[in-house]
Chain A
Amino acid sequence: MSKLKLATAWLDGCSGCHMSFLDMDERLLELAELVDVVYSPIVDAKEFPDEVDITLVEGAVASVDDEKKIKKIRAHSKTLIAMGDCAITGNVPSMRNPIGPEVILDRAYIENATAQPQIPCVVVPKLLKVVRPIHEFVKVDVYLPGCPPSADTFHTALTALITGEPLDIPALTRFGA
């Protein structure tokens, strides 16, 4: 049996979900028997591949770059998993929504700058007015809440998805877990 292609992506999140994923420890070796990790912040691939079986996405959509990325990811993934609260609810990144991005940028780049206070306009992608969960942009197949979802949650959920076993997510995890 050929191995499934697994990808993970990192939008506006703290990388905690990826850390928790790595906390599967020795179980990652078992997982590596079943899947090839073809794209991820923890591997070298720079371009999202054309065909991926399962993609885990961490983080909310907060910038024009995130929006572009999530649309590309969706177009090339058979199963898309929203990984963690930021991807599902907006979570901590969305705490700027009630006050808007201008105030945040001012605080970071003008008020607190010690040299050359200026709002970046090149290289750094433009922020969206509001931070939104990924399902407001693309269809999501599986929602895995948690901040972050535990290593056990990842292990149980991924094993079930790879083998086609039934999966009861609310029994595993919740928002803020």
Chain B
Amino acid sequence: MTESAFEVKTLQIDGQEVSARRGQTILEVAKENDIQIPTLCHLEGLSDVGACRLCLVEIAGSNKLLPACVATVSEGMVVSTNTERLQKHRKTILELLMAERNHICSVCVANGHCDLQSLVQEQGVTHVRLPYRNPQLGMDASHERFTLDRNRCILCTRCVRVCAEIEGAHIWDVMGRGINSNIISDLNQDWGSSSCTRCGKCVQVCPTGALYDKSKIGSDHPKYPESLPYLNLMREAQ
């Protein structure tokens, strides 16, 4: 028992004194204390990769911004989650995402149920200052139940992680580098002829309209990513 007390770290988040267990991420501790940090690639129930950079926070004494989803707490840390500098970076990140591919909210299957669209509104982005790239990207509609629309993909890799970590099939992966990165199934073959188990978890966790259920085309396409922690809990209970 004396050892476990040693594991407790105390730190400050936005001026609030908080305590945490060693190894906890800044995001976890912030959540436990009702401090909201915007996230996009993070999803409760999946591992964290720090891909989207929306959860960047400032640490006193360091010029480097850290992604709260993967940065762990340390004793005496002073964290700021919503400074002017962070707000500026978050807006720019969202604008970069909107400009990178073809996000046309008004005709998107995820309109009204999209994490990217909600974040853009929450962070006060009313226009994109960067020129749109308008890349020519394909869609994969070869699967009997689902469609992959690369125009809406933000490469958060939630689909890759849920398929590998929860379903255990690992049919999704990322091919290419930088601006040429793309989500592929198996060895870059049609989703329909891949080793997909048809479980649909990737569709449920996709934050945008990049993965959708063919039977639900239209604006009414809610997804249920909150089912993941429950699924994990039930598995552990077995």
Interface residue? A56 (CB, 8 A): no
Establish whether residues A140 and B134, one from each chain, have CB atoms under 8 Å apart when the complex forms.
no
CB-CB < 8 A to B107: which residues of A? 92, 95
Interface residues of B in 107-134 (CB under 8 A from A): 107-108, 111-112, 117-118, 120-122, 124-129, 131-132, 134
Establish whether residues A91 and B106, one from each chain, have CB atoms under 8 Å apart when the complex forms.
yes
Establish whether residues B112 and A176, one from each chain, have CB atoms under 8 Å apart when the complex forms.
yes
CA gap between A70 and B117 in the complex, in Å: 28
- With contacts A98-B102, A175-B117 taken as known, whether A130 is within 8 angstroms of B127 at the C-beta atoms is no
Interface range on chain B (Cβ under 8 Å from partner): 20 to 34
Interface residue? A61 (CB, 8 A): no
With both beta carbons as reference points, the residue of chain B lying nearest to A174 in the complex is identified as B121
- With contacts A88-B127, A170-B124 taken as known, whether A175 is within 8 angstroms of B105 at the C-beta atoms is yes
Q: How far is the CB of B150 from chain A (nearest CB, A)?
A: 11
Establish whether residues A94 and B104, one from each chain, have CB atoms under 8 Å apart when the complex forms.
yes
Interface of A, secondary structure class, is mixed
Q: How far is the CB of A45 from chain B (nearest CB, A)?
A: 28
CB-CB < 8 A to A169: which residues of B? 126
Mask, A119-142, CB within 8 Å of B = 1, is: 000000000001011011000100
CB-CB < 8 A to A59: which residues of B? none
Interface residue? A85 (CB, 8 A): yes
Establish whether residues A92 and B126, one from each chain, have CB atoms under 8 Å apart when the complex forms.
no
With both beta carbons as reference points, the residue of chain A lying nearest to B101 in the complex is identified as A98
CB-CB < 8 A to A98: which residues of B? 102, 134-137
With both beta carbons as reference points, the residue of chain A lying nearest to B136 in the complex is identified as A98
Interface residues of A in 153-177 (CB under 8 A from B): 169-170, 174-176
Interface of B, secondary structure class, is loop
Establish whether residues A143 and B136, one from each chain, have CB atoms under 8 Å apart when the complex forms.
no
Q: How far is the CB of A89 from chain B (nearest CB, A)?
A: 7
Establish whether residues B131 and A143, one from each chain, have CB atoms under 8 Å apart when the complex forms.
no
CB-CB < 8 A to A62: which residues of B? none
Establish whether residues B134 and A143, one from each chain, have CB atoms under 8 Å apart when the complex forms.
no
Establish whether residues A176 and B131, one from each chain, have CB atoms under 8 Å apart when the complex forms.
no
CB-CB < 8 A to B122: which residues of A? 170
- With contacts A82-B127, A145-B126 taken as known, whether A175 is within 8 angstroms of B106 at the C-beta atoms is yes
Establish whether residues A143 and B127, one from each chain, have CB atoms under 8 Å apart when the complex forms.
yes
Interface residues of A in 81-135 (CB under 8 A from B): 82, 85, 88-92, 94-95, 97-99, 130, 132-133, 135
CB-CB < 8 A to A133: which residues of B? 127-128, 132
Q: Which of B121, B125, B127, B135 contacts A140 (CB 8 A)?
A: B127
Interface residues of A (CB under 8 A from B): 82, 85, 88-92, 94-95, 97-99, 130, 132-133, 135-136, 140, 143-145, 147, 169-170, 174-176
Nearest first, the 3 closest Cβ-Cβ pairs linking A and B are A176-B105, A147-B106, A97-B134
